[in-house]
Structure 1
Amino acid sequence: MKSRCLLISVFFFLSLYAKILAQEDSTKVTIPEETPDSIRKKSFLKKLVDYFGDANKNKKNKGFDFSVIGGPHYSSDTKLGLGLVAAGLYRMDRKDTVMSPSNVSLYGDVATSGFYLLGIRGNNLFPKDHFRLVYNLYFFSFPGNFWGIGYENGRNDDNKSSFKRLQNQIKVDFLIRLANNLYLGPNISFDYVAGKDFSNPDLLEGGPESTKNVGAGVALVYDSRDFLTNAFRGFYLKAEQRSYPSFLGNKYAFSRTDVIADYYHPVWKGGIVAMDFHTQLNYGDVPWTMLAPLGGSYRMRGYYEGRYRDNNLVEFQVELRQNIWRRSGATFWVGAGNVFKNFKRFDWSHTLPNYGIGYRWEFKKRVNVRLDLGFGKGEKGFMFNINEAF
């Protein structure tokens, strides 16, 4: 979620980073006599530089290591705005420095277009990693675009229509460790999407403008990653089955199967290859608000999220992540995705290409701020977010 199309000001980011590097490399010099106001101003800047300069250092004695960064951005969708991202690392057992720490991220944004977003997501690891609580909660309001349902509607530029969208989501997994790196547990979800002022309501194909969906299911996870927010090696496999039955108050009853398979491997000094496969399969009476959407800030980056949507989705991406110098890094990725109504109607010619480049700055230890520029078929988009895309 979807902190979509956020482009942080390059001037803001690079100037701040230059100050940090200057602070790290500078030698002691004699400070000329200055006025009290000037001294206070320099003192504030020094505090700011020290804040970001120390953000990625290990703080073993700190119970909760939390830092914040933000800045202006502009995109064709959200217009001029101000974005905020934050990251926190902590351990429920502070004596255990071997196990990967728990993490929490806060993300928010407000823009002149009327877009606003606030969310929180994280992974809480209990002592000895016997249990895991994985959560994502957000709400946003967005004057968005809608192309209809299916590949053919999505590829038709003339279908682009406007509507106002308010969305809230709560998703929680509680995982129990069965064996080394293997987890199983229940999950619940709540999705509320309120759409209004559709400029072309015929594209809904008779579907509702707004829906409320409550789901429950089970997830099986194998996770051998060395670090949750920025893995250098290991596997992550997740198979999830969730149902939205009528007895939970759903007007539209359907089921969903979701599978993720990720692999991380170092290839040379500072270089990591990361691969991600994802499929989402929906069957039953699925409203348009819960169809599988292609695009966004995590997969098929550069495509407008939801321009292509249907019952089923398959997507794959491979990314090279390279540390360049100190806390700076770069990425390059290629990928492909396909949306389809059912397997009988799957068409290889409908496969959409994807590629892009990105800049990384280590905001906290193994926690990156990322700035991505993604390209798709006739589309491109900027994304500013925290943590790797996968």
Structure 2
Amino acid sequence: MKQFIRYTILCVGYILGSQSLLYAETPTDSIDTIPTDSIIAKKDTTVKKLNIFQKVLKYFDDSNAPRPDKKFDFGIIGGPHYSSTTKLGIGLAASGTYRLRRDSITQLSNVSLYGDATTTGFLLIGVKGNNIFPKNKFRIDYDFYLYTFPSDFWGIGYENGNNNANKSSYDRLETILRIDWLARLHKDLYGGISTGFNWVKGSDFTKIELLEGEAREVISTSIGATLVYDSRDFITNAAKGVYIKVNQRFFPKFLGNKKAFTRTDFIFDYYHRLWEGAILAFDLHGEFNYGDVPWNMLAALGGSARMRGYYEGRYRDKNLIETQIELRQHIWRRNGIAVWVGAGNVFPSFSGFKWGHTLPNYGIGYRWEFKNRVNVRLDYGFGKKGQSGFLFNINEAF
């Protein structure tokens, strides 16, 4: 917590200081006695003499200015971060918004490029986004990333994950691709095909017995159907609306899977304005796997979007239910905060669900509007067994 406070103060101080410099008025002496052309000339000279620090400040100050004339509004930001999972690192995120055709009906499409490198040897590069076609008739939602990571493994099931003595290490190399191809069925209702590919290779397990005889290298290819109801006013930072997604994916052997299984994924999100600058966001997520599920494709609790602060994958099993409620409050200019509470539970089957295995989650975060309605977020989450994590990311968690 102390590390989070120190780092957040540093980041907030830097951003606020930058804004103070950018918004500060330049004093003038006896403007009435100076010819207009002299003032213009002096201003032009000042612009030309901006140093690198002033240029950076100007870039961030202009980054969220509305650009109705710009077909593709793009910006880049990066900086240091720390988490209990990956330790100290440097992250880079680039975000862009655009429309394939200029009209007042089509919602803005978005794309984010992201990369990360940390002192533990964690390396990540990826791209994700939502491509909205004219008049919202079609959309493509996608996420692709590749990473390598000296990871930890506790085994499968709640009991193994809850046992600190099970903590072991292994090296993980993974590629993930998910694409939803959707067509508008009626107003805010969309339906279509879901495709996915996952390749993972684990090596140098210190406690190989926790893998329970599973193959270390696994390829999983899926196809399925997706139904989406989406009335959000802005995909990456909604202030109002509802988002419901039901995704049924199949992993048959004829697609190259060594083991056949199926997955049902459900998301329900709700957004509501409470008072000026305040948004209440609610998220409910369920993942249910059936059949012979590989170890890497089990439902894993934790990450940057849900159950923030937990080591991703410490608790894993066939099924997962998790929920969170978050209050987002704008504070001043481009600055805001967020607080949340949540809970999650992993279980082998519905008959094996135990309320006592429910894991708590809560946290606090800082928000800075990098671009118009595109936030950079710094979150610090807490969980059971003293778990905590500091996260740097772009766009809201949900």
Same fold (TM over 0.5): yes
Q: 2:110 aligns with which of 92, 103, 107?
A: 103
| 8 A Cα contact 2:81 2:391, kept in partner | no
**Counterpart residue number, 2:39:** none
Equivalent position SS for 1:128: helix
Deviates more, 1:174-183 or 1:71-80: 71-80
Instruction: Give the superposition deviation at 1:19.
Output: 1.4
**Counterpart residue number, 2:97:** 89
**Counterpart residue number, 2:65:** 57
Matches within 5 A, 1:339-354: 339-354=346-361
222 and 17 in structure 1: CA distance in 2 versus 1, 3 angstrom threshold: same
Matched residues, percent identical?
56
**Counterpart residue number, 2:148:** 141
**Counterpart residue number, 1:45:** 53
Tell me: higher relative CO, structure 1 or 2? Use CA pairs within 8 A at least 6 residues apart: 1
Mapped partners of 2:233, 2:275: distance in 1: 17
Q: 1:291 aligns with which of 286, 292, 298?
A: 298
- How many residue pairs match? The answer is 377
29 and 114 in structure 1: CA distance in 2 versus 1, 3 angstrom threshold: farther
The yes-or-no answer on 1:301 pairing with 2:300 is no
Mind listing any 5+ residue stretches in structure 2 that lack a counterpart?
A: 30-45
**Counterpart residue number, 1:275:** 282
Mapped partners of 1:323, 1:9: distance in 2: 16
**Counterpart residue number, 1:24:** 23
Mind listing any 5+ residue stretches in structure 1 that lack a counterpart?
A: 31-37
**Counterpart residue number, 2:246:** 239
| 8 A Cα contact 2:176 2:197, kept in partner | yes
**Counterpart residue number, 1:115:** 122
Q: 1:176 aligns with which of 166, 178, 183?
A: 183
Q: Which amino acid aligns with 1:244?
A: F
| 8 A Cα contact 2:84 2:390, kept in partner | no
TM score, norm. by length of structure 1: 0.93
Mapped partners of 1:263, 1:76: distance in 2: 30
Q: 1:151 aligns with which of 131, 139, 158?
A: 158
228 and 206 in structure 1: CA distance in 2 versus 1, 3 angstrom threshold: same
Equivalent position SS for 1:268: coil
137 and 91 in structure 1: CA distance in 2 versus 1, 3 angstrom threshold: same
Mapped partners of 2:380, 2:105: distance in 1: 35
Mapped partners of 1:9, 1:55: distance in 2: 21
Instruction: Give the superposition deviation at 1:98.
Output: 4.6
Mapped partners of 2:346, 2:225: distance in 1: 24
Q: Which amino acid aligns with 1:359?
A: Y
169 and 281 in structure 1: CA distance in 2 versus 1, 3 angstrom threshold: same
| 8 A Cα contact 1:116 1:142, kept in partner | yes
Higher Cα radius of gyration: 2
CA deviation map 1:164-200 (0-9, x unaligned): 0011001000100000000000010000011000000
Equivalent position SS for 1:228: coil
CA deviation map 1:149-170 (0-9, x unaligned): 0000000000000000011001
376 and 343 in structure 1: CA distance in 2 versus 1, 3 angstrom threshold: same
Q: Which amino acid aligns with 1:385?
A: N
CA deviation map 1:323-362 (0-9, x unaligned): 0111101011000000000011100000001000000000
Q: Which amino acid aligns with 1:44?
A: I
> Aligned-residue CA RMSD in angstroms?
1.9
Equivalent position SS for 2:194: strand
Q: 2:193 aligns with which of 181, 186, 189?
A: 186
Equivalent position SS for 2:274: strand
327 and 192 in structure 1: CA distance in 2 versus 1, 3 angstrom threshold: same
Q: Which amino acid aligns with 1:226?
A: D
